Chain A
């Protein structure tokens, strides 16, 4: 039995057989040695005797591997065209496949491989591997991010050729699982173990055959992790060397609540986990029974519960949980995915497809480091990107980009359920300027007969401390405020939580952060505007009574936490939480705050139950 720790990427616990999908294997490993005359000439098949006979054999082997790979890529393309993926993903994949097909016809790749077969006397496999290693070395020097982003796709295609040269099966991870399911382990769902899952693999992850996955690469916000959460299967990511530690067919436990993977568990561990899985299933079932119930306290106070989404796919889980409002839609993915800036039409299609499915949607304008939108030559190296050129600062400087996004958002308001949210605001003047931009775009659209911008609601993210301090003035300018507790904490405590040396300082329950949140809520209410909170604090169970007590109007959380937060709110009374919020705002020491949080846990069994489900045992 072995236990590996990674990052908890998607909750749930599952025990099943592993299928190892070794996606990168072929290119990294393998030694290249010139073939000796007395060695078998090819791995399989006839052994040609003469040099030219051998050469022809290797050349034709190479040609047929290229042909076979081309055929596979065409099959994948046909597969994509036929399956129901979002149109924007479809387009993205089809462009990747386009470039991949060109790699197969690449004269540099082909000629260099042929030269090695002819001149260096290597096998087709050796020649091709050596050639790709040389080419990849060239790519290592490339600095352009858009090009670097394509390297994985090129590796994907050269790996396919290599596997075809070696006569290995060319099924995708999921097809592999499907095939093995039919043959060896009938009836079981499997755990996929991989270095990384490509977008094409994750897009096709199927709950019917995959019960969980663990990967070497990725963090909690990587594409793989988000997809795990979106389709609701447990996942652990960022576990080094897991593909070396696990063989297909091994018994595996994935504990997505704690980020733990156990390989070949012993009898007692197995029993503990069987118990835990059962408990978690009961727990989840109980949560699902809350789906259609209102998010209201015992004494009748309603808190709006909304969810954050980073990728459109995430909406599916939220809909299952009965949620009907998107409290924060991040739009960065639209800009990161494409090689070129997204057009108004592309954006509109994405926003509109989501707006149709919900009662309300708050779309945050681009919150990206501006450097990602510029060509390499024009980039200034930022020493402090978090304090740098991002969010509204970029939008106000790059009006064309901002206007295009605003147009798309305003057009989406044809359903009359769209709000605009402005990120990274630090001054009142920025708010006024951004508002005038929105008004201008709305006016221009109105001239063409599109009037949806005239009364679209506008909100400001409260995440820079200066904005929180002047929140009363900002609230008067806009329709609502949305507290981004993650960045607010980071900026207030001057602490980068991704830096392991100072991560322990990061604490959204720091007394100063709590005081500023309370201030923001109060001044906003005096201006008769509503306030939302959309950071991780909104899904931290002991924080819920505090936030409800302060009078927060809306909590926006990741879809998977919706029901847990609803469960907590339904167990509270507004009056009781008011007193808690009062007491908490009097605390000045972090240690005191910690003690108070423990008190909250002891006082509310619902909170304690949820906490213990995710805490290390």
Chain B
């Protein structure tokens, strides 16, 4: 299991488009990937889980992955969030 903390940088937070990007990225890995926010857990492969978690700008998330490609998975999701999904 690999863990890494990130905070949401883009102004609009994780709305529909960023959520879709996370799901698409997470789908590339075999590992189970979880986003955790104040004990609330969201499956990174579930668009509805991610949307319900409601991560606005400044929210701190823990990205966790467990499986054969856990290192790559966490790295990829963290990078996506850190670069603000290519938004402002």
Q: What is A's interface to B at a CB cutoff of 8 Å?
A: 95, 98-99, 102-103, 105-109, 135, 138-139, 141-144, 146-147, 150, 154, 339-341, 374-378
Residues of B within 8 A of A107 (CB): 43, 45-46
Determine whether the beta carbon of B12 is less than 8 Å from that of A146. yes
Determine whether the beta carbon of A143 is less than 8 Å from that of B54. yes
Which of these, A102, A106, A141, A339, contacts B12 with CB under 8 Å?
A: A339
On whether A339 and B16 interact (CB within 8 A), knowing A108-B48, A375-B11, the answer reads: yes
Q: How far is A51 from B43 in the complex, measured between Cα atoms in Å?
A: 31
B49 proximal to A (CB < 8 A):
yes
Which of these, A102, A105, A340, contacts B88 with CB under 8 Å?
A: A340
B52 proximal to A (CB < 8 A):
yes
Q: How far is A339 from B24 in the complex, measured between Cα atoms in Å?
A: 18
Determine whether the beta carbon of A375 is less than 8 Å from that of B16. no
The contact sample of 7 A-B pairs, CB cut-off 8 A, is: A99-B20, A103-B48, A106-B48, A135-B48, A142-B52, A144-B54, A340-B12
Determine whether the beta carbon of A340 is less than 8 Å from that of B54. no
On whether A341 and B88 interact (CB within 8 A), knowing A374-B11, A376-B13, the answer reads: yes
Q: A102-B20, A135-B52, A142-B51 are in contact. List 7 more A-B contacts (CB 8 A).
A: A99-B17, A103-B47, A107-B46, A144-B15, A146-B12, A339-B16, A375-B12
Determine whether the beta carbon of B46 is less than 8 Å from that of A340. no
Residues of B within 8 A of A138 (CB): 48, 52
Q: How far is A95 from B58 in the complex, measured between Cα atoms in Å?
A: 25
Encode contact with A along B2-17: 1 for CB under 8 Å, 0 otherwise: 0000000001110111
Q: How far is A105 from B45 in the complex, measured between Cα atoms in Å?
A: 9
In chain B, residues 46-62, which have Cβ atoms closer than 8 Å to a Cβ of chain A?
A: 46-49, 51-52, 54, 56-58
Q: How far is A150 from B18 in the complex, measured between Cα atoms in Å?
A: 13
Residues of A within 8 A of B48 (CB): 103, 106, 108-109, 135, 138-139, 154
Q: How far is A135 from B52 in the complex, measured between Cα atoms in Å?
A: 9
Residues of B within 8 A of A143 (CB): 54
Determine whether the beta carbon of A375 is less than 8 Å from that of B57. yes
Least CB separation from B26: chain A residue: A107
Determine whether the beta carbon of A98 is less than 8 Å from that of B57. no
On whether A98 and B20 interact (CB within 8 A), knowing A107-B45, A139-B51, A375-B57, the answer reads: yes
B87 proximal to A (CB < 8 A):
yes
Q: How far is A282 from B86 in the complex, measured between Cα atoms in Å?
A: 56
Residues of B within 8 A of A377 (CB): 56-58
Which of these, A95, A98, A106, A144, contacts B13 with CB under 8 Å?
A: A144
Least CB separation from B15: chain A residue: A146
On whether A375 and B56 interact (CB within 8 A), knowing A95-B16, A99-B20, A147-B16, the answer reads: yes
Q: Nearest chain A CB to B81's CB is how many angstroms away?
A: 15
Q: Nearest chain B CB to A404's CB is how many angstroms away?
A: 11
Determine whether the beta carbon of B47 is less than 8 Å from that of A102. yes
Size band of the interface chain B makes with A: 20 to 34
B23 proximal to A (CB < 8 A):
yes
Q: How far is A376 from B54 in the complex, measured between Cα atoms in Å?
A: 10
Q: Nearest chain B CB to A220's CB is how many angstroms away?
A: 28
Q: How far is A147 from B56 in the complex, measured between Cα atoms in Å?
A: 10
Q: How far is A106 from B54 in the complex, measured between Cα atoms in Å?
A: 17
Residues of A within 8 A of B88 (CB): 340-341
Q: Nearest chain A CB to B52's CB is how many angstroms away?
A: 4
Residues of B within 8 A of A374 (CB): 11
In chain B, residues 14-36, which have Cβ atoms closer than 8 Å to a Cβ of chain A?
A: 15-17, 19-20, 23-24, 27
Determine whether the beta carbon of A108 is less than 8 Å from that of B20. no
Determine whether the beta carbon of B87 is less than 8 Å from that of A376. no
Residues of A within 8 A of B58 (CB): 375, 377
Residues of A within 8 A of B54 (CB): 142-144, 147
Residues of A within 8 A of B87 (CB): 340
Least CB separation from B47: chain A residue: A102
Q: How far is A65 from B23 in the complex, measured between Cα atoms in Å?
A: 22
Q: Nearest chain B CB to A405's CB is how many angstroms away?
A: 15
Q: How far is A108 from B54 in the complex, measured between Cα atoms in Å?
A: 16
Determine whether the beta carbon of B23 is less than 8 Å from that of A102. yes
Determine whether the beta carbon of B16 is less than 8 Å from that of A108. no
Q: Nearest chain A CB to B60's CB is how many angstroms away?
A: 12
Residues of A within 8 A of B17 (CB): 95, 99, 339-340
Residues of A within 8 A of B11 (CB): 374-375
Determine whether the beta carbon of A375 is less than 8 Å from that of B46. no
Q: Nearest chain A CB to B21's CB is how many angstroms away?
A: 10
Least CB separation from A132: chain B residue: B48
Least CB separation from A153: chain B residue: B16
Q: Nearest chain A CB to B42's CB is how many angstroms away?
A: 9
Least CB separation from B32: chain A residue: A107
Q: How far is A340 from B23 in the complex, measured between Cα atoms in Å?
A: 19
Q: How far is A519 from B16 in the complex, measured between Cα atoms in Å?
A: 49
Query: Counting chain B CB atoms within 10 Å of each CB, which of A108, A147, A154, A374 scores highest?
Result: A147
Q: How far is A150 from B48 in the complex, measured between Cα atoms in Å?
A: 10
Residues of A within 8 A of B45 (CB): 106-107
Q: How far is A106 from B20 in the complex, measured between Cα atoms in Å?
A: 11
Which of these, A108, A376, A378, contacts B43 with CB under 8 Å?
A: A108
Residues of A within 8 A of B49 (CB): 106, 108
Q: Nearest chain A CB to B50's CB is how many angstroms away?
A: 10
Residues of B within 8 A of A98 (CB): 20
Query: Counting chain B CB atoms within 10 Å of each CB, which of A141, A143, A377 scores highest?
Result: A377
Determine whether the beta carbon of A375 is less than 8 Å from that of B13. yes
Determine whether the beta carbon of A106 is less than 8 Å from that of B47. yes
Least CB separation from A146: chain B residue: B15
Q: How far is A375 from B56 in the complex, measured between Cα atoms in Å?
A: 7
Residues of B within 8 A of A142 (CB): 51-52, 54
Q: Nearest chain A CB to B64's CB is how many angstroms away?
A: 16
Q: How far is A102 from B88 in the complex, measured between Cα atoms in Å?
A: 24
